[in-house]
Amino acid sequence: MQTVFSETQLLHDPPHELHCAQIVPYFESPMRAERILEAISRHGLGPIVEPNALDPATLRRVHSPDYVQFMEAVSKYVASNKQGDAPLIPHTWRQPEMVSPVPDSVFGQLGHYAFDAGTPITAETWAAAAASASSAVTAAEFLFEQRLPVFALCRPPGHHAAAGYYGGYCYLNNAAIAAQHLLDSGSGPVAIVDVDYHHGNGTQSIFYRRRDVLFASLHADPRQAYPYFSGHPHETGEAEGVGYNINVPLPPGSDWPTYAPLLREVMLRIREFQPKFLIVSLGVDTFESDPIADFRFSTDDFFSLGEELAVLDQPTMFVMEGGYAIQQIGDNVVGTLKAFERTSAL
């Protein structure tokens, strides 16, 4: 299987984050991608190619112009060193009844565009996020032309980012941008299945009122787990999109035997939708020793995951999302991809 990745994606490297009332080293570190690259060559997954240059119009098919403009401008603002070189983190948010316009203050703007305090912006964030999205777009182009499985080694990840806001280590929604690019190329319906431990609230939001993209997510129950305010089963879509959003929350400590039958059910619903292409938002933070999650997948369970994702026999691309157990992230990701490749008829 071919991988798409750019070294520019490594530039985003915030030193720390706020985690359960403590300042800790940033979990979503560039080392994640380095470990995955190492496993790709160790297991001989296939070639690693650079993404093509990104047309900014492709981003704006998913993200609002003011949001894209903010993200680029605020990265430049950090680079200009006006507040020192510390990454920017918001500290003040609106409640829905607070309706004043977007302020001029950079901290006011951060509060407007962010939904959490765990997603710092550095001088290199914009460049890395745009490169990550380019990898997804280039993978989508390869998928559309070759109809062969492909892996977008995206990082920073994307599934928490919506059209006009960021959070959860995510700035641009790589999977959504890939899906939109497929549609704009004339693909016909696209399905996205999100197997990250966390609910893909951004992807849900982007396609919530649409039926050209089916979004299905299995994740930790938002009553206990991040992102808390999205991911319940009754969130099934709106307007034209009713019935085209599927949420399957799982209890704390879920293991593969609990997960597998629910994933099978989701895959059958995706099959009924008859997508022309499948996008997998691949998070491996379901792993038993993930430092920020509590599911119990073993490394072998990721082979089973890869096999299960292959049941549709549809052209499929994988977009990297979460997974923070640095030691095993490579084997878990490449294990999933190799098992998919072995099983898929394509």
CB of 84 to Zn ion, least distance (A): 30
Pairwise CA distance, residues 59 & 36, whole Å: 26
Strand extents, DSSP E, 60-146: none
Residue 26 binding partner per list Zn ion, ligand OKP, none, with a CB distance cut-off of 5 to 8 Å that depends on partner kind:
none
CB 75 within 8 A of CB 126: yes
For 220-246, letters b (16+ CB in 10 Å) and e give bbbeebbbeebbeeebebeeebeebbb
Query: Closest distance between ligand OKP and the C-beta of residue 160, in Å?
Result: 6
Among 67, 166, 226, 287, binds ligand OKP (CB under 6 A): 226
Q: What x-and-dash track marks residues 281-300 binding ligand OKP by CB under 6 A?
A: --x-x------x--------
The answer to the question of residue 321 lying near ligand OKP (CB under 6 A) is yes
The DSSP call for residue 86 is P
Contact 320, 336 (CB under 8 A): no
Q: Does 19 bind ligand OKP (CB under 6 A)?
A: yes
CB 309, CB 216: distance < 8 Å: no
The smaller minimum CB distance to Zn ion, of residues 70 and 165, is found at 165
> Which partner in ligand OKP, Zn ion, none is near 207 (CB below 5 to 8 A by kind)?
none
Smallest distance, Zn ion to C-beta of residue 86, A: 25
**Least distance to Zn ion from the beta carbon of 159, Å?**
8
Would you please indicate which residues are annotated as catalytic (active-site) residues?
160
Q: What are the C-alpha distances in Å from 131 to residues 19, 309, 330, 340? A: 27, 26, 21, 26
- Give me 337's structure tokens: 């991809």
Residue with tokens 């704009």: 184
Give me the least distance between CB of 272 and Zn ion, in Å please. Answer: 27
Q: How far is the CB of 83 from ligand OKP (least distance, A)?
A: 23
Q: Which region among 69-77, 157-165, 175-183, 263-271 touches ligand OKP (by CB under 6 A)?
A: 157-165
Among 155, 198, 296, 338, binds ligand OKP (CB under 6 A): 198
Binding residues with ligand OKP: total (CB under 6 A): 16
Instruction: Name the site residues for Zn ion (rule: CB under 5 A).
Output: 196-198, 283, 285, 322
Distance, CA of 81 to CA of 86 (rounded, Å): 9
Which of 104-112, 138-146, 154-162, 271-279 is the region at the interface with ligand OKP (rule: CB under 6 A)?
A: 154-162
Closer to Zn ion at the Cβ: 120 or 283?
Answer: 283
Other C-beta atoms closer than 10 Å to the C-beta of 82 total: 8
Q: Which of ligand OKP, Zn ion, none does residue 113 bind to, with CB < 5 to 8 Å depending on kind? A: none
Closest CA to 48 of 153, 181, 127, 136: 153
Q: Check residue 44 and give left, alpha or beta (phi > 0: left; psi -120 to 50: alpha).
A: left
User: How many residues in the chain?
Assistant: 346
In the numeric block, the tokens 């993930």 are attached to 290
Task: State the residues that interact with ligand OKP by CB under 6 A.
Answer: 17, 19, 118, 157, 159-160, 168-169, 196, 198, 226, 283, 285, 292, 321-322
